[in-house]
Structure formats: structure tokens, C-alpha cells
Chains A and B, each alone.
Chain A
Amino acid sequence: MEFLDANLELKEIQKLQGHTDRVWSIAWNPATAAANVPTVFASCSGDKTVRIWEQSPSTLSWDCKAVLEETHTRTVRSCAWSPSGKLLATASFDATTAIWENVGGDFECLSTLEGHENEVKCVSWNASGSLLATCGRDKTVWIWEVMPGNEFECIQVLQGHTQDVKMVRWHPTMDILFSCSYDNTVKVWWSEDDDGDWSCVQTLGESSYGHSSTVWSLDFNAKGDKLVTCSDDLTLKIWEADITMMQSGDGYAPWNHLCTLSGYHDRTIFSVHWSREGIIASGAADDAVRLFVQSKDGSMNEPSYQLLLKKEKAHEMDINSVQWCHGEEKRLLASASDDGTIKVWELATLS
């Protein structure tokens, strides 16, 4: 990996203030960060609002373009853009998920999804934008179908987790859903047929080299054959599966534990994100951002990962979310913190 040889640093580009409470999540708009399109991202907070930030083409700094307020009545915990970048879904402790559309610079709330019994913790769109998933403290995962006219219908409520579900995420290329929970497990949900029922096809628990405390977040590599999970047990775990087998329709291929990264974090790891180029970023309760890459000297059958760099005191308080921007030009990372700020960083060679 060329990263290990280069002299890299995580340079702070900008500190964004505006939220009046902790910032829980950030999401880069996938349709932006293309040439000539200003980069946009959304952030959500304990202040019950969602803020939309856009980079000015002239000054190159991010400004707050919109504040989505007076819809959620409690903390907004998670936000996610649809793959087309046209819709934004926001999940809240008020037990609802709101769907917003950008109508000429103003964001309008198109729909409010109800059903969860209490706090909704996360929302995620599948790769094609035809399905939405939500999860919450009521231990369930809900799958919603996107109908014509921006209507949403719940097609199934998935039971299985025995505790609070912290996060859900769809696989990047296939309609397989992953959820992680306070019950220390990661569950994989799959529907064999298009119209069939979804069921839990695998549970990554302690008996399969899984985590020993709450799993807070997970993400996939670009190819979708590797998965990284992070936990309150202070470790990151990498898993892999035979994706080609699944893609060719030969049934479900299970995920297997590849390696555990321990000894790097001393407080809860809340967020993990894998860049297109293979750099894993983690955000933790010790206020630091860490970057990991695959080692050069791992064998073919047992790849290993190592720390690329550690940014201590990246924020003044816990980091709740780290997200790589998918733009091609610069390697940008955004981080959100309990200190109420968002920071945009660039991974660049030391000047």
C-alpha cells in the first residue's frame, strides 16, 4: 500500500460551528463532490436539527446552507442521503424518520415514517435507493420500500436482536442488510427471493470471534468483500466473505472473522468508515481519529492491518462520527463531536 511509505498527516481544513448540542452524525451527499458540483454534507444533532453544509466554489469554505428544524421533537441521531442525492432521511429519538427533499435550496419534509416504539437510532438506503432500513431501542430493524410518489411502506419488521439496535447499513452492491447492537452482535439479514421474507442468516457473536460489548458501527470496503466493525470493547474487527459466490446466485456466503485490531483504542469506538482506497478511519471517545491500512507484509491468506496515523485531540470531546468524502480530487474526512463542532480534514503529504 503506498500510504505506508508516504509521509502523511491529517490536516484540519475547517471547523464548522452552528449546532448548539452534540453532533451525532454526518453524511456526505453522494451526488456532489463531482467536478463542478459543490460538495455538500448533512449533519444532525442533539439540538433536534439537521444542518446542510455546502462548499463555496470561490472561497472553498463550507457554509451552512439550511437548518432543518421544527420537525423532529427530540435528538436527531442519524442522517442518510439517497444514492441519487435527491432525498435525505433523518432518524430521531422522537421515534420517527423524516424524508426530506431539496426543493430549490429549501428542504421540505415529504414524509414521516412512524412505527418504532421508541428512539430510532439509524437509517440507511440500499445501493439502488429502492429500500430504506431503520433500527432502534425497541430492538427491531424495519425495512421500508420506496413507492412511487415518494411514499414509503414498511414491508417487514425484523426481530432477533435482544437489545437496542445501534446501527443498520446495507451492503454496497447487494441487498443484504447488516445491523449492530447493544447485545454485542452483528446480524445479517437476507431475502432469498425478491418478494420473499427477510430473515437473519447470520449472527456475528462472541462465539464466532465477535465483540464482547456493544457494537456501535460497521462499514464495508469498496469491493464489498470485507466488513469492519467497531465496539465498546475497544477493538475493531475485520470480516470477509466470498462475495463472488453470492453475486453469482449460489446462495448465502457467510462472513468470517479475519482479524481483530486491539490495543489501539482505550475508550469506546463510536464510528468506523472505510474509504474507497482502503483506509479505515475510526472515531472514538478519547477524542482521537485513527487511520488504519492493510499491512504490506501480511500473507495472502492472513492479511493484517496496521495504524497509519493517529490524530490526538482531533476534537475536545468524544467523536461520534467519521465519514470519508467520496470525491476524487482530495482525500477529505469529516468528523462530528460531542463538542458541537464538525471538522473537515484532508489526508495529505506532510508539507
Chain B
Amino acid sequence: MEPDLVASVQESDITLLKSSEDIMEVAISVVLPRLLPLQIEIMVSGLINANPIVDIKDPEHPYSLEELKVISEDAIEVDNERSYVRVTFTPTVEHCSMATVIGLCLRVKLMRSLPSHYKMDIRVAPGTHATEAAVNKQLNDKERVAAALENPNLLDMVDECLAPSYA
């Protein structure tokens, strides 16, 4: 069955998201519990599999990244000489919180998979999202990311999202 990210966010959440200033905080409390774990694993493993610089852990997945339309191979730029990675992803849902959550999971997965001296930039594909500048700014502010990840609830949820699940 095809995963449907849109259906997982309810109308009341949308109102809350639109009036919220702190995107990441709302994302933590509202959106993350609804994100289907398998989707994140697919996105991220596909990213890593596409690039030989990291150890490949290759579980089988029923959906390709193209089918999910979240990440395509040319959306990943890797510069091994400068130890730099840039990931551009297209959130399938308009809500800023969902985009932030996906971006945060991507960042955590990369942090755990790449050597520590690698620099990374995560961003929403230009033109695909109404508040992309705001989302990109939060995702690339390492102090904000560090503070968010100190929230044990968020960390648990991110771990759950990144854990392989074959349900």
C-alpha cells in the first residue's frame, strides 16, 4: 500500500502549524508521531546507497525514492575532497513542520553515517515550499538543531523514524 503523508496530518494540526512561530517545536509535538517510520528509512538509505563514500547498509525496500518523490540522485551533492555534502529534498506535503521534521531526520541520519568532519547542508528544493527559507534556516542552524535534539522525546521519535521497520 502506498504511504500517504498527507492523510497523516489532520485539519486541526494545520491550523496550529500556520499560527506557530517556532516550526521545530510544533513539529516535535504534533507531526513527528504521525510520520511513518518506513518512509524516512527509505529516503535516507536511498541517499546513502547512492553515494559510495559511506558504508552501505542495504535493506530491501518496496518503494523507490523516485516513487516517493522526496529525493532524487541528483539532489545529493558530494564533494569528498572538501568533505562536504548537500542534500536537497522535496517534501511531499506543504506543511512546514513536516518539511522540518523530514529535514531533521535526514540531518541526524547523515550525522550518524558520515565521518564527523564532514560538513553538511540540508535544504528544501527551491520553489517547492511556501516557507522554504524559514525551514532551511532552522535546519542549518546547528545551535537550534542541537537544542532540539536534547529533547529526549524528539530524540526517541527520530530514532524510531530512523530504525528499519518492515511492518
A→B interface (CB under 8 Å): 22, 46, 74-75, 77, 93, 118-119, 121, 137, 164, 166, 182, 213-214, 232, 267, 285-287, 316-318, 339
Looking at the complex, which one of B137, B141, B142, B144 makes contact with A318 (CB distance below 8 Å)? B142
B167 at the interface (CB under 8 A from A): no
> How far is A93 from B144 in the complex, measured between Cα atoms in Å?
10
Q: Which residues of B contact A46 (CB under 8 A)?
A: 146
Shortest beta-carbon distance, A144 to chain B, in Å?
Answer: 22
Q: Which residues of A contact B116 (CB under 8 A)?
A: 316-317, 339
Shortest beta-carbon distance, B166 to chain A, in Å?
Answer: 34
Write out, one digit per residue, whether chain B residues 115-150 have a CB within 8 A of any chain A CB (1) or not (0): 011010000000000000000010001111011001
Q: Check A214–B119 contact: CB distance below 8 A.
A: no
| Known pairs A46-B146, A121-B143, A317-B116 / 15 extra A-B pairs, C-beta < 8 Å | A22-B146, A75-B146, A75-B150, A93-B150, A119-B147, A164-B144, A182-B141, A214-B141, A267-B119, A286-B119, A287-B117, A316-B116, A317-B117, A318-B142, A339-B117
Q: Which residues of A contact B117 (CB under 8 A)?
A: 287, 316-317, 339
Q: Is the interface of B mostly helix, strand, loop or mixed?
A: helix
Q: Check B150–A74 contact: CB distance below 8 A.
A: yes
> How far is A75 from B141 in the complex, measured between Cα atoms in Å?
16
Shortest beta-carbon distance, B72 to chain A, in Å?
Answer: 26
> How far is A126 from B125 in the complex, measured between Cα atoms in Å?
45
> How far is A83 from B132 in the complex, measured between Cα atoms in Å?
44
Q: Which residues of A contact B141 (CB under 8 A)?
A: 182, 214, 232
> How far is A22 from B141 in the complex, measured between Cα atoms in Å?
15
Q: Which residues of A contact B146 (CB under 8 A)?
A: 22, 46, 75
| Cross-chain pairs A/B with CB under 8 angstroms, 22 sampled | A46-B146, A74-B150, A75-B146, A75-B150, A93-B147, A118-B147, A119-B147, A121-B143, A164-B144, A166-B143, A182-B137, A182-B141, A182-B144, A214-B141, A267-B119, A285-B119, A285-B142, A286-B119, A316-B117, A317-B116, A317-B117, A318-B142
Q: Which residues of B contact A77 (CB under 8 A)?
A: 143
Q: Which residues of A contact B119 (CB under 8 A)?
A: 267, 285-286
Q: Which residues of B contact A287 (CB under 8 A)?
A: 117
Closest A residue, CB atoms, query B144? A164
Closest B residue, CB atoms, query A48? B150
Q: Which residues of B contact A74 (CB under 8 A)?
A: 150
